Amino acid sequence: MGMTMTQKILAAHAGLTEVKAGQLIEADLDLVLGNDITSPVAIHEMEKMNVKTVFDREKIALVPDHFVPNKDIKSAEHCKCVREFAARHDITNYFEVGEMGIEHALLPEKGLVVAGDVVIGADSHTCTYGALGAFSTGVGSTDMAAGMATGKAWFKVPSAIKFNLIGKFSKWVSGKDLILHIIGMIGVDGARYQSMEFVGEGIKGLTMDDRFTIANMAIEAGAKNGIFPVDDLAKAYMKEHSKREFVVYEADEDAQYEQEFTIDLSTLKPTVAFPHLPENTRTIDEVGDIKIDQVVIGSCTNGRLDDMRIAAEVLQGKKVAKGIRCIVIPATQKIYLDAIKEGLVETFINAGAVVSTPTCGPCLGGHMGILAEGERCVSTTNRNFVGRMGHVKSEIYLASPAVAAASAITGKISCPCDEE
């Protein structure tokens, strides 16, 4: 029986010629990832184990990114714990403030993940690297500890849903709108335990940053992973960023899928997820008059250079509406620097936005833009759960950088297309 792309990668890492959905396997890991929130718990667990050191000091990535630069004393203690562990075990890929970025933007940029890899990360958005044709999935801290100690993890082989993409996006429509559209269609548990495999000629027109955004939010449909075929654009990206050899896996023609959807990208409109679930989607023409207090443009979902460029294109020569806070957070130091060189940061500041050093910050209600009672935020982040960005009675509307930037100018949920 044929295998999906995900199943082929897992089989190869388990030393098997074939795997089936539902099978329990133990797979070798190419990379184990943790951040400042999840790593301290993992480090504590690993110290309880009868092991002296990590399985491979070059195959662990530790990225303090959630509450850094340290937001308070307790966060500082967590970061110190991670820093000292990294020093003690001589971890190659520990990224201190100044070189760090949001983990899921940073790792591909640093070339630490390539096609064909199996990656676990103690962060649910680890599924981002599916954009490169890797199998990557989020786990908890105990799995991270066991992974750091042994270089292995057990998995239940997932079944899959196939998304056949055709056509091209219209102006102001991007990867964020596609993944929100899909989550609206199948629900927040629509792909629970499954792979979301993206195929079709429509992929050609997706930038790498679009693909990272789409794979990143597979978890918001409950998926184990999201994955893209490795085309010339993905190969060029990896050659530019990584010295590692990559392995290209392709789904068999007779691979089994539980469900198949065809989506014509040209029919999609800018899409917004209303509080308090990413599945509560409406297209921009169905949004109505929603006044807002804050805009956040950033995160592991939409803090990449494409996102900065789109936001700057919308904000160019305009002003953020009076009384609105617009917070822009480039996801890595490189993206920040590129945004400065391209004049994007100047555009943001002239428009009245603030630009922050890389951090997950407001996305999870950590710092750098917490909401008060009753406030509303249009955010390019990934979750709009109750209390996610602050007060339990605040509201988050998930959208693309284009919609977020346009909303900052008008003070209500808007599309740049409204001006044309």
R_g of the chain computed on alpha carbons? 20
Give me the least distance between CB of 85 and other proteins, in Å please: 14
**In this complex, which beta carbon is closest to other proteins, that of residue 27 or of residue 263?**
27
* Residue 295 CB partners (closer than 8 Å, separation 6+): 320, 324, 325, 326, 327, 353, 377, 378, 379, 404, 405, 407, 408
Give me the least distance between CB of 132 and other proteins, in Å please: 20
Residue 355 CB neighbour total at 10 angstroms: 20
**In this complex, which beta carbon is closest to other proteins, that of residue 162 or of residue 383?**
383
**In this complex, which beta carbon is closest to other proteins, that of residue 86 or of residue 408?**
86
**In this complex, which beta carbon is closest to other proteins, that of residue 38 or of residue 380?**
38
Q: Which residues of 136-172 are buried (b: 16+ CB within 10 A; e: fewer)?
A: bbbbebebbbbbbbbbbbebebbbbbbbbbebebeeb
**In this complex, which beta carbon is closest to other proteins, that of residue 66 or of residue 176?**
66
Q: Does 391 sit behind a cis peptide bond, omega within 30 degrees of 0 on the bond before it?
A: no
- Residues of this chain that interact with other proteins (CB under 8 A) are 37-38, 40-41, 44-46, 48-50, 66-67, 71-72, 74-75, 78, 121-124, 126, 138-143, 145-146, 188-189, 192-193, 219, 222, 224, 277, 364-366, 370, 383, 385-388, 392
Give me the least distance between CB of 95 and other proteins, in Å please: 19
Q: CB pairs under 8 A, 24+ apart, for 19-24? A: 19/157, 20/157, 21/157, 21/158, 21/159, 21/160, 21/256, 22/156, 22/157, 22/159, 23/156, 23/157, 24/154, 24/155, 24/156, 24/157
**In this complex, which beta carbon is closest to other proteins, that of residue 30 or of residue 143?**
143
Give me the least distance between CB of 281 and other proteins, in Å please: 15
Give me the least distance between CB of 337 and other proteins, in Å please: 28
Q: Using alpha carbons only, give the angle 8, 207, 109 rounded to the nearest 5 degrees.
A: 75
Give the residue numbers of the binding site for [4Fe-4S] cluster.
300, 360, 363
Give me the least distance between CB of 150 and other proteins, in Å please: 9
